[in-house]
Amino acid sequence: MVNCSEIIFILVTRTLECIFVLLEYSVDEVSKLYNVFCKAYNTSDNSSSNNTPKTVVIVGGSFAGLAALQELAFGESSNIRIVVIDQKNFFEYTPGVLRLFCDPSQFLTSLGREFDANRYTKNVMFLHGEVTAIHSDTNGLSYIPYNETTTMNLQYDYLIYAAGSTHTYPITASSDERTLLSREEGWIVANRKIKSSQKIVILGAGAVGTELAAEIIDYFPNKEVTLIDASPIVVPLFPKSTQEYAQRWLQKKGVRLLLGKSLDKWDDKSCQFKDGTILQADAVYVCFGGKPNSKPASTQNKSMFTMNGRKSLLVDQYLSCSNNTNIFSCGDVAYPPTEALAQGFHAEIQGIVAAKNVLATIHSSISINNRMTRYPHDICKSSRMPLVYVLSLGKYDGVLGFNNITIPGSIAAIFKWILEYTKVLQMEGKLLGRLIWKFGDAAALFLSRTIVRPPPMP
């Protein structure tokens, strides 16, 4: 039976989709003409003290890496060569992938896009390969190209390390899913597993576990879904109003909540609590314990990088890695001195800051620190980044949050659709997406420092 929220969601999103498609086509045509003009006439910026192009290598093609790429490629300086290297040949909108457990058809239509260097006017190259080591003493890195076994070397003048973090499969792609089509097949297999499982256990009631439980029970209301966490409440890092709304929603839908329960061990078919109780299931999904992808930085020259206990790269306020003046790190793999919240918005802002500081270093004079951008102080005029999130609760419900303000219900689902659609456009390098989020980011930062300030640190 179709309810009112579903009707509103479908009508609004279909209307917006038509508008966005028309705008995208119009703006994209203008962008193509502009790119042709720039490549034909090559209006270079010769303001650098050294006219030899500098090579900037970006490791990682997700939110932080692509934000850094766009800041460099569409910025004022053109006297640079940009190389983006990623073990995949595509961008995946990770905040939306939990839906693919239940509807894998949306991967190619909405959430996955191949990298395309033709979107950029400057000297941009995408390399498909896995970085294995960073040699900061020689300004080089080692990588293995996709489908090859020979290790190659790549030299850089500046490095932005934005390799992100790895979560359990299939939330993070496996080593066999390095192309768009193989990743789609992986999601189809994950969907078959969900369909064939009656008893499903989800470990971890943070945002990932809560959204996964909501997706499964919304698509398959007759399945037995159990959500387990040592915390006494779901999404413990979010405001209390979001916690309470999400918990009521899950309970109303029939999700079994085992909160305040500590686990001893688990496998694919069961989990055991500290008190010895064993819970059997047809499928167990682990939704906690993301690990920073910092191994290449620790392989050689360990003294050149500083890491914390989680193996995150420690960076200073300029996102520069300690002991390295030409290496910056951003996103989930980095740990800034102010905060290290794993959010796409924060990762993007960090990518922008890292790129700005690369450009500042390239054009530096003696007083380089006067030109460097501090994170987050100079980018948002505050010592705190805003907390911006949309917690999905099935297809037509959720909670929209901005610092201490929360808006639950179908409007959150509509907003998440808008965010997802336009954010994928932006990460593709399309002009419409970049324009929308240029305004969106500025508006969020302005509101956070003036009207709706961030909540106090826990």
**Contact, 141 vs 154, CB < 8 A?**
yes
Query: Are the C-beta atoms of 315 and 328 separated by less than 8 Å?
Result: yes
Residue 127 phi/psi, 5-degree rounding, is -110, 135
Q: What is the pLDDT along the chain (458 residues), one digit of tens a residue?
A: 567 878 888 899 999 999 999 998 888 777 777 666 766 665 444 444 456 889 999 999 999 999 999 999 987 666 899 999 999 999 999 999 999 999 999 999 999 999 999 888 778 999 999 999 998 888 999 999 999 999 999 999 999 999 999 999 999 999 999 999 999 999 999 999 999 999 999 999 999 999 999 999 999 999 999 999 999 999 998 999 999 999 999 999 999 999 999 999 999 999 999 999 999 999 999 999 889 999 998 866 566 788 888 899 999 999 998 767 899 999 999 999 877 677 889 999 999 999 999 999 888 754 455 578 999 999 888 888 999 999 999 999 999 999 989 999 999 999 999 999 999 999 999 889 999 999 999 999 999 999 988 876 65
Please report, to the nearest 10 degrees, the dihedral formed by the alpha carbons of residues 207, 208, 213, 219 taken in order: 110
Contact 136, 301 (CB under 8 A): yes
Report the 10 Å Cβ neighbour count for 99.
24
CA distances from 54 to 45, 64, 72 (A): 13, 21, 12
The tokens describing 254, both together, are: 């029939």
C-alpha to C-alpha distances, 275 to 3, 179, 279, 320, 322, nearest whole angstrom: 43, 44, 12, 46, 44
Q: Please provide residue 291's backbone torsions phi and psi, each rounded to the nearest 5 degrees.
A: -115, 130
d(CA 59, CA 127): 10
Report the pLDDT value the prediction gives residue 70, as an integer from 0 to 100.
95
Structure-block tokens of residue 7 = 């009707």
In the chain, the N- to C-terminal Cα span, in Å, equals 43
Provide the pairing of β-strand 224-229 with 112-114. Answer: unpaired
According to the model, what pLDDT value does residue 420 have? Answer: 95
Specify whether the CB–CB gap between 39 and 123 falls below 8 A: no
DSSP secondary structure string, 19-30? HHHHHHHHHHHH
| Rounded Cα gap, residues 217 and 135, in angstroms | 48
pLDDT at 44 (0 to 100): 47
Kindly state the tokens that stand for 121. 């006017």
User: For the packed helices 344-362 and 63-73, what is the interaxial angle rounded to 10 degrees?
Assistant: 40
Strand partners, 124: 82
What is the chain's length?
458
- Positive or negative, the CA dihedral 316, 322, 326, 329 is negative
DSSP structure class, residue 111: I
Predicted confidence at residue 350, as pLDDT, reads 95
Residue 304 pLDDT: 75
- Alpha-carbon distance of 385 to 448, in angstroms, equals 8
How far apart, in whole angstroms, are the C-alpha atoms of residue 160 and residue 129?
Answer: 16
pLDDT at 49: 47
Report how far residue 203's alpha carbon sits from residue 294's, in angstroms, rounded to the nearest whole number.
25
- The DSSP code for 110 is I
Report the pLDDT value the prediction gives residue 345, as an integer from 0 to 100: 92
How many CB atoms within 10 Å of residue 378? 14
Can you tell me which residue has the tokens 């796409």?
Answer: 344
